Amino acid sequence: MIDARAIRRDFPIFEQAMNGRPLVYLDSAATAQKPRPVIEAVRRFYEEYNANVHRAIHALGERATESYEEARRKVARFIHAPGPETIVFTKNATEAINLVAYSWARNNLRPGDEIALTPIEHHSNLVPWQLAARAVGARLRFFELAPDGEIRADRIDEVIGEKTRLVAVTQASNTLGTLVPVESIVAAARRRGALVLVDGAQSVPHMPVDVQALDCDFLAFSGHKMGGPTGIGVLYGRREVLESMEPFLGGGDMISSVRLDGAEWNELPYKFEAGTPPIAEAIGLGAAVDYLSALGMDNIRAHEQRLAQYALERLGALPGVTVYGPRERAGLVTFNVDGIHPHDLATVLDQEGIAIRAGHHCAQPVMDWLGVPAAARASFWVYNTEEDVDRLVAGLKTAKEFFGHVVGA
């Protein structure tokens, strides 16, 4: 079980007040707050052994290299990857997906090939495939949504066909909270010989993820959404697929030898990590992995499920509030309040010390499907409590009263 009140003491940001009120942070789907062990790990690197990795022949460089590579090993164990060489450090999940779009898709797709996606993807797992498809003459196809935002599992085989070369799907929607049936999609892709990329940005921080059990070829996620620093992301890739790919970026450390007329690439994963990598960020991510592993990902998932269901009940009981997405969901709720633009709603809630997200959530096709220009979103993580949901509900009532008076005047 998660003791969120005790966990909050690990996060220094909650020691402050916002507008004279205790901070209620309901925007972890955008970025999570950082626990002290992560902050301390980054601080120790800069204060005690700041040096570049893989190159320096001195004690600081050796310690930095070992800490950087230990972070890679921790991430590999965390997602049950077969080995650390399958873990590529990137800037974020977006860069990890673009790495595959440029290094694999543009070199392997041909005119008429198809890429299968869900219509609820974050722009980061949609725009790169639009660009790749345009560059090679491929076509995008989309799975069908049920009225509640679930993926129609009975229609998967109608989208994944003989021309499908790649399937790229989120594991959990950042807007509707939909949990995508990745296992069924992977099975269908295997029957057609297609590769599968899973966008784990909204799943890896919130639930157990096992890449070998999923049988996916790629998994992308970001450190900053799981309590790690910004500026660090991860691409897991099946070893044989990564070995077949060309580098994404050229420069230092991604080579084994260079001549004026050519070069040979470094071994995995280094051929995809050109230049000085995000060393402090990777070390901080390793600390975040330790922190989450100690809490237990099953416990985190159960905690978020309870909060999401509680929020659905409380928000569903409010007149004039529309909640989007299926009943069974990830740890977030997206909603609108009649007569109040989400940006205005977020502004009023901010005055109450409550931080939510408002806008299109980098998922404009989802907003089009819902028939709204924008929506409000409250997302939960390990430090959130039922009292946070109660504060949100009270804040919504305050907003309705305020705008009711304004409209009435």
Question: Among candidates 170, 33, 27, 150, which has minimal Cα distance to 94?
Answer: 170
- Spatial separation of the C-alpha atoms in residues 159 and 143, rounded to whole Å: 6
Neighbours of 61 (CB within 10 A): 17
Mean pLDDT score, 195-221:
98
As a whole number of angstroms, the distance between CA 157 and CA 146 comes to 16
Could you tell me if 287 and 323 lie in one domain? no
How much is the average pLDDT of 132-149? 97
Provide mean pLDDT across the span 178-207: 98
Strands 233-237 and 87-90: antiparallel
Amino acid of residue 59: A
Residues 138 and 272 in one domain: yes
Residues 378 and 307 in one domain: yes
Q: What is the DSSP letter of 172?
A: B
Give the model's pLDDT for residue 56.
Answer: 83
- Confidence band of 409 (pLDDT split at 50, 70, 90): very low
> 21: Cβ–Cβ under 8 A, 6 or more apart, which residues?
352, 353
Cα dihedral 66/72/75/77 (nearest 10): -80
In a domain, 189, yes or no: yes
* Residue where a domain terminates, one of 294, 327, 358: 294
pLDDT in tens, 228-243: 999 999 999 999 999 9
When divided into structural domains, the chain yields a total of: 2
Domain that holds residue 53: 38-294
Kindly state whether residues 309 and 365 are assigned to the same domain: yes
41 with 286: CB under 8 angstroms? yes
Domain assignment of residue 366, yes or no: yes
Number of H helices, E strands in the chain: 15, 17
Query: Per DSSP, what are the bridge partners of residue 323?
Result: 335
Distance CA 313, CA 282 (A): 39
For residue 388, what are its two tokens?
């946070």
Q: Which residue has the tokens 């991860």?
A: 234
Of 245, 267, 294, the residue that ends a domain is: 294
Q: Which residues pair with 234 in a beta bridge?
A: 89, 221
**pTM, rounded to two decimals:** 0.96
Catalytic residue among 362, 372, 393, 394: 362
Contacts with 328 (C-beta within 8 Å, 6 or more apart), sequence order: 179
Say yes or no: 191 and 106 in one domain: yes
Looking at the domain assignment, is residue 385 inside a domain?
Answer: yes
Same structural domain, 263 and 344 = no
Which structure tokens are listed for 326? 């299926």
149 residue type, one letter = G
Joined together, the tokens standing for residue 391 give: 């504060």
Mean pLDDT of 123-150: 98
Can you name the residues that pair with 321 across neighbouring β-strands?
Answer: 337
- Is 16 in contact with 23 (CB distance < 8 Å)? yes
Do 58 and 105 lie in a common domain? yes
Buried b (16+ CB within 10 A) or exposed e, 281-306: bbbbbbbbbbbbeebebeebbebbbe
Pair 121, 71 in one domain: yes
Is residue 322 located within the same domain as residue 204?
no
Same domain, 281 and 312: no
Q: Determine the Cα–Cα distance for residues 355 and 347; give it in Å rounded to an integer.
A: 9
Q: Is 362 designated active site?
A: yes
Quote the percentage of the chain above a pLDDT of 90: 96
Is 161 inside any structural domain? yes
Whether residue 31 is contained in a domain is answered as: no
- Of 283, 299, 292, nearest in space to 40 by CA: 283
- CA dist., res. 150 & res. 327, Å (int): 10
Phi/psi at 257 (5° precision):
-155, 150
| pLDDT given for residue 405 in this prediction | 52
Q: Is the pLDDT of residue 406 over 80?
A: no
Residue 369 lies in a domain: yes
Residue 31: CB atoms within 10 A of its CB come to 15
The b/e string for 139-175 (b: 16+ C-beta within 10 A; e otherwise) is: eeeebebeeebbbeeeebeebbeebbbbbbbbbbbbb
**Cβ–Cβ < 8 Å for 265, 103:** no
User: Do 373 and 272 share a structural domain?
Assistant: no
Domain boundary among 294, 323, 339: 294
Sorting pLDDT into bands at 50, 70 and 90, what band is 404?
confident
Question: What CATH number does residue 384 fall under?
Answer: 3.90.1150.10
Domain membership flag for residue 85: yes
pLDDT in tens, 331-347: 999 999 999 999 999 99
Q: How many angstroms from the chain centroid is the CA of residue 12? A: 23
CATH of the domain at 186: 3.40.640.10
Nearest to 369 by CA among 360, 377, 378: 360
Cβ-contact 383, 14 below 8 angstroms? yes
> Is the same domain home to 46 and 156?
yes
On whether residue 401 sits in a domain, the answer given is: yes
Range 189-205 average pLDDT? 98
